[in-house]
Amino acid sequence: MKITVKSKNRDYDVIINNGVLDNIEFYLDITRNYIIVSDDNIPEYIINKFLTKLNIVKTIRFPEGETSKSLSLYSSIINSIINANITKDVVVLAIGGGVTGDLAGFIASTLYRGVDYIQVPTTLLAQIDSSIGGKVAVNSDKVKNAIGTIYPPKLVLVDPNVLSSLSKRHFNNGMAEMIKYSLISSKSMFCKLLKDDINSLLEDLIIESIKIKKQIVEEDEFDVGVRQTLNFGHTFGHAYEAYYEYKKYLHGEAVALGMLQFVSEKIKSDLIALLKKFSLPIEDQVKKEDLIKFIKNDKKAKMDSINIIKVKSIGEAYIEKIYNYETELLK
């Protein structure tokens, strides 16, 4: 299956196939030079698929985890590439989850004012979300994704087979984003997720999720309108992550808690059932008052207002601008 995403700078294909990584020579130019950027926890069997078939001029493995999305690691990696005399015609391969995609993509977007990069997402979250849409970033000392650009990849290769080695917890983390897509734009997908055994449907669900993201980012690539609906669950989600210093919750788990804050009462019980099905959290002890200061730090907050995404009926999200949000969000 091939989905083409249209973007202002360049259109790019997303190839989704079980086993696509066993046939990379059909999709990649084997005469070019490549750099692998990947965290040190990505299984070797995935990396080897590239090492054996491509001209790899450098392999960079960095410590896994969110803390690697930092300016200091960005700086040391980009300097190591430049100091190795690697030239602008190189292609960066981002092989891994969202952390790898965001960091490697940000490196590619700034190295020599931009080199080609290819997203090879290996977590469910990265396959359905972070590898599509071109947002790449590192975190500032205090604010997640505060330093970044929108820089579309040249190609995205999605192989659902590699999810077999992903831990259950990280798989469910990606399911939180899939649940989000269903809540903001597909009632039929929400019903499928709630009622069916998803194992046999996984490839189709990945394709459906990518189509939802494609539609939204094509309509609003630069995040000034409808793309903000993808932030559903993220206002409180980012605050939960930051409150617990990124130690208690994975991103999707925090988003699960965040989504529960902004759905109408009539869909809350179905959402709770769905979150439980994928072992996602449905409650947390921290008081809303303690989360507000993290919401103020969120890069989406303006001086006097914040846009909140709400879901009244399954499949329909809307944006609400809230003033005095420090008091309004406590209600």
* Spatial separation of the C-alpha atoms in residues 57 and 208, rounded to whole Å: 36
- Under a CB-based contact definition with an 8 Å cutoff, are residues 252 and 275 in contact? no
Please state the φ and ψ torsions of residue 213, each to the nearest 5 degrees.
-65, -40
Least distance to ligand NAD, CB of residue 83, Å: 26
Q: DSSP code of 28?
A: S
Nearer to ligand NAD among residue 181 and residue 325 (C-beta): 181
- Under a CB-based contact definition with an 8 Å cutoff, are residues 14 and 2 in contact? yes
Nearer to ligand NAD among residue 69 and residue 211 (C-beta): 69
Nearer to ligand NAD among residue 43 and residue 225 (C-beta): 43
Tell me which residue of 251, 243, 330 sits closest to 286, measured CA to CA: 243
Nearer to ligand NAD among residue 43 and residue 290 (C-beta): 43
Tell me which residue of 156, 131, 143 sits closest to 295, measured CA to CA: 143
Q: DSSP code of 233?
A: T
Q: DSSP code of 304?
A: S
Least distance to ligand NAD, CB of residue 279, Å: 15
Q: Which residues contact 264 (CB under 8 A, 6 or more apart)?
A: 310, 311, 312, 313
- Under a CB-based contact definition with an 8 Å cutoff, are residues 116 and 92 in contact? yes
Nearer to ligand NAD among residue 141 and residue 304 (C-beta): 141
Strands 155-158, 12-16: pairing is parallel
Nearer to ligand NAD among residue 15 and residue 42 (C-beta): 42
Nearer to ligand NAD among residue 215 and residue 313 (C-beta): 215
| Side chain identity at residue 304, one-letter code | D
Residue whose beta carbon is closest to ligand NAD: 98
| Side chain identity at residue 163, one-letter code | L
Least distance to ligand NAD, CB of residue 87, Å: 27
Tell me which residue of 124, 149, 121, 129 sits closest to 137, measured CA to CA: 149
- Site of interaction with ligand NAD (CB under 6 A): 39, 41-43, 64-66, 69, 96-100, 102, 122-123, 125-126, 129-130, 133, 135, 145, 162, 165-166, 170, 173, 251
